[in-house]
Structure formats: structure tokens, C-alpha cells
Amino acid sequence: MEHKIFAMPFSKIYKLYIQKVEKKDRTKDEVDEIIIWLTSYEKENLESIIKNNLTVKEFFENAPSINEKTSLIKGVICGVRVEEIEDKLMRNIRYMDKLIDELAKGRSMVKILRK
């Protein structure tokens, strides 16, 4: 059985990310920059995906490419080490969660994007 997050509309998660970071004085543009960095989507494509209610699974399946620097993302999210998650889709979702968490915690974009 697939995890329920796979079938969730990406737009719903996206809105939650925006709310989370705005509470910490970060911006929607920073969230977009992280998602674009992670998935290689163009900004226009990201806006279209949000409007068209693609699922999280479809969002990642249609991503042009996952950033090769994701291997540099380490740590725990939801009690699990992201680098040890075997399911590729779930690992990508958790990478995105981890990056948004780092943004909400005040990390600089240079560090979040592993530059």
C-alpha cells in the first residue's frame, strides 16, 4: 500500500510550507527557490503544478531532475535519517521537508542549497 502523502495534492503541502516559513519571517520566494533547486522545475511550471493539483507523486515523477547535491542533505526528519530512506519518492519528499525546515529555522539560503 502506498503512503497517503503520495496521493496528496502538492498544492496542499506547498501551502503548509509557505505558512510554516512565513511564521518565521521567511518568504514564499525562498520556498520556491528551494523547490526549484531540488527538482529543476521552472518557476512557471511550479505555478502550473500548484494550480492543476498534481499529487506529490506526480510532482516528483514529472520533475525534470533531482539535484545531484541531495546527497549532501543529512539529518533527521520525522524521526528518520533522510539519507537512510530507501524508497526514492519518500526520500525526495523528506529532502524537501528537511530543506523547508532549515529555512524555517533561519539557515542561510547558501547553506540550505548546499553551495
CATH of the domain at 67: 1.10.8.290
Residue 78: pLDDT over 90: no
Q: What percent of the chain has pLDDT over 90?
A: 91
Average pLDDT over residues 84-106: 96
Question: Does any domain span residue 40?
Answer: yes
Determine the structural domain holding residue 101 and report its residue range: 4-110
Question: Cβ neighbours of residue 79 under 8 Å, at least 6 residues apart?
Answer: none
Stretch 27-37: mean pLDDT: 97
pTM of the model: 0.94
**Helical spans, DSSP H, in 23-87:** 28-39, 43-51, 56-61
27 phi and psi angles, rounded to 5 deg = -125, 160
71 band by pLDDT with thresholds 50, 70 and 90: very high
Sign of CA dihedral 33, 38, 40, 46: negative
Q: Is residue 97 part of a domain?
A: yes
Where does the pLDDT of residue 82 fall: very low under 50, low under 70, confident under 90, or very high at 90 and above? very high
In a domain, 87, yes or no: yes
Residue 115 lies in a domain: no
Give the pLDDT band (50/70/90) at residue 88: very high
Residue 53: inside a domain? yes
Number of domain units in the chain: 1
Residue 18 lies in a domain: yes
